[in-house]
Amino acid sequence: MDYIKNMRKYIGNETLFTIGCGIIIEENEQILLQHRTDEDNWCIPGGIMEIGETFEEAAKRETLEETGLTVTGLELFGIYSGEKCFVQYPNGDKAFSVQIIFLSKQFTGELKQKDIESREHRFFRKTELPTNLNPRQKSFIIDWEEDNRHPIIK
């Protein structure tokens, strides 16, 4: 996050290019989603890559920070880009974030429920997904629901 804070000193609220890395954690044909405190919607665990990290390192770090889970056995689920990757946050900051999404069915640790970013974490069946999915993540959550992996650029 230091990189983003430093860049904001130079560009203010203008569009910042970032790379987001997240993990679809699946157990018993259910997906783990987190209910975000900042946008009051549901998304997968993940976040912005720091300078020097690999995609997998960023996804694992963010997932551990947000969920308390250590995830292994990552497989590429898809790479997402395009207009849906633009965001403007409530403070006016703008970003465009390419999304590198992994899938894993292997994890250890105790799932934490609340932290500064999350109200709760819950596993959902494909037929029970919440309606208020994060708009920037909805496409790959729906791709998971429809068994539609995109390990190539989408």
Render pLDDT for 14-69 as a digit per residue (tens, 0 to 9). Answer: 999 999 999 999 999 999 999 998 888 999 999 999 999 999 999 999 999 999 99
Residues assigned a catalytic role: 120
User: Residue 6: enclosing H or E segment and its boundaries?
Assistant: helix 2-11
pLDDT of residue 125: 98
Please tell me the predicted confidence (pLDDT) of residue 113: 80
Q: Which residue type occupies 89?
A: Y
Cα–Cα distance for residue pair 65/69, rounded to 1 Å: 8
What percentage of the chain's residues is helix, strand, coil (to nearest 5)? 25, 40, 35
Tell me which fold the domain 2-153 belongs to: Nucleoside Triphosphate Pyrophosphohydrolase (3.90.79)
Look at residues 65, 54, 68, 56 and name the one whose alpha carbon lies nearest to residue 23: 56
Q: What is the pLDDT of residue 114?
A: 75
Arithmetic mean of pLDDT over the chain: 92
> What was the pLDDT predicted at 1?
55
Q: How many CB atoms lie within 10 A of CB 147?
A: 7
Q: Give the pairing type, strands 150-153 and 75-80.
A: parallel
Please write the tens of the pLDDT for every residue from 42-56. 999 999 999 999 999
pTM, two decimals, is 0.91
pLDDT on residue 153: 60
Q: Is the pLDDT of residue 84 over 90?
A: no
- Indicate whether 151 pLDDT > 80: no
Q: Residue 154's pLDDT band (boundaries 50, 70, 90)?
A: low
